[in-house]
């Protein structure tokens, strides 16, 4: 029943977000990030499931796209789209968005990852277990979240052809990993050549272009949807007595403090220019 509820809620929320994206004329971003999530998750499971720091999903879900449950892609898209709209409302510059969105998406994963692994929704090959809830999750997971979203947002913001962000965002992630882990920068070099060319092309054509003004009557609700992910985590936090895990308690408190701060900024109660 828990699995069915997670899938149904994920699908319903995505349909609402899809409608809102259409109303505020940001449907392209939502479609691109959804396709990007499908591409990334399936390639990761296919390539790294049986190696260190790899993972695989439970086979108990009802709807999959290739090897990944449907709701995973949809939740990805909701979180990234919400963080993107929040960054627009806070009037962040392009470069600020490139760094803010990955971090703001990743803090949610800090809260829901441990709960989901504990429920058996997915399993990490490198999990050692014991100690605390985060001992079942390799640190590379959180670094990966930041790197993956960073790659997508970087490409989306600076490339003239936005659809390339679906593919080059993944290349950025793999390229950086190859560059730092194996000291082989071939993939990264290919990306840089494509990126520099596209950025130069974009700068010439759209030098004076300003951000589209978003209708926040609709867009605000996408940001509010972050609350569903925290409700999910808090429910199992008490049901499975995760509050006995001091490390998880500290992480949860820290994340909620960050969320409250940016929510107050979002509502205009705290005002600070970025």
- 59 compared with 53, residue with greater pLDDT: 59
From first CA to last CA, the distance across the chain in angstroms is: 44
Report residue 223's pLDDT band, with 50, 70 and 90 as the boundaries.
confident
- Tens digit of pLDDT for each residue in 12-49? 999 999 999 998 888 999 999 999 888 888 877 776 66
What is the token pair recorded at 151? 């790659």
Give CA 236 to chain center in angstroms.
21
Helix (H) or strand (E) holding 179: helix 165-181
Amino acid 143: pLDDT: 80
- 181 compared with 113, residue with greater pLDDT: 113
Highest mean pLDDT among 48-57, 110-119, 199-208, 264-273: 110-119
Instruction: Tell me which residue of 112, 78, 9, 23 sits closest to 86, measured CA to CA.
Output: 78
Read off the pLDDT of each residue in 9-13 and give the average, rounded to a whole number: 92
- pLDDT of residue 124 exceeding 70, the answer is yes
Report residue 82's pLDDT band, with 50, 70 and 90 as the boundaries.
very high
Read off the pLDDT of each residue in 145-161 and give the average, rounded to a whole number: 84
What is the token pair recorded at 112? 């829901």
Report residue 257's pLDDT band, with 50, 70 and 90 as the boundaries.
very high
Indicate the range of 14-23, 152-161, 257-266 predicted with least confidence.
152-161
Q: Kindly report each contact of residues 174-178 with a partner whose C-beta sits within 8 Å and lies 24 or more positions away, as own/partner.
A: 176/147, 176/151, 177/147
Amino acid 205: pLDDT: 45
């Amino acid at each position: 029943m828990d699995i069915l509820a997670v899938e149904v809620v994920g699908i319903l929320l995505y349909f609402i977000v899809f409608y809102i994206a259409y109303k505020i004329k940001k449907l392209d971003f939502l479609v691109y990030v959804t396709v990007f999530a499908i591409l990334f998750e399936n390639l990761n499971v296919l390539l790294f499931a049986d190696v260190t720091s790899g993972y695989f999903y439970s086979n108990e879900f009802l709807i999959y796209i290739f090897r990944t449950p449907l709701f995973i892609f949809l939740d990805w898209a909701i979180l990234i789209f919400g963080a993107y709209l929040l960054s627009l409302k806070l009037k962040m510059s392009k470069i600020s968005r490139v760094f803010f969105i990955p971090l703001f998406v990743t803090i949610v994963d800090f809260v829901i990852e441990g709960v989901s692994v504990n429920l058996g929704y997915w399993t990490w090959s490198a999990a050692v277990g014991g100690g605390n809830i985060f001992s079942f999750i390799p640190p590379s997971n959180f670094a990966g979240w930041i790197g993956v979203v960073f790659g997508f947002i970087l490409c989306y913001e600076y490339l003239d052809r936005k659809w390339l962000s679906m593919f080059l965002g993944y290349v950025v992630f793999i390229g950086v990993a190859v560059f730092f882990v194996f000291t082989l920068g071939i993939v990264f070099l290919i990306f840089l050549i494509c990126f520099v060319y596209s950025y130069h092309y974009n700068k010439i054509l759209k030098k004076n272009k300003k951000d589209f003004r978003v209708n926040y009557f609709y867009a605000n609700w996408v940001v509010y949807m972050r609350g569903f992910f925290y409700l999910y985590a808090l429910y199992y936090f008490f049901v499975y007595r995760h509050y006995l895990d001091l490390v998880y308690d500290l992480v949860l408190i820290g994340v909620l403090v960050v969320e409250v701060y940016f929510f107050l900024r979002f509502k205009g109660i705290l005002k600070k220019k970025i």
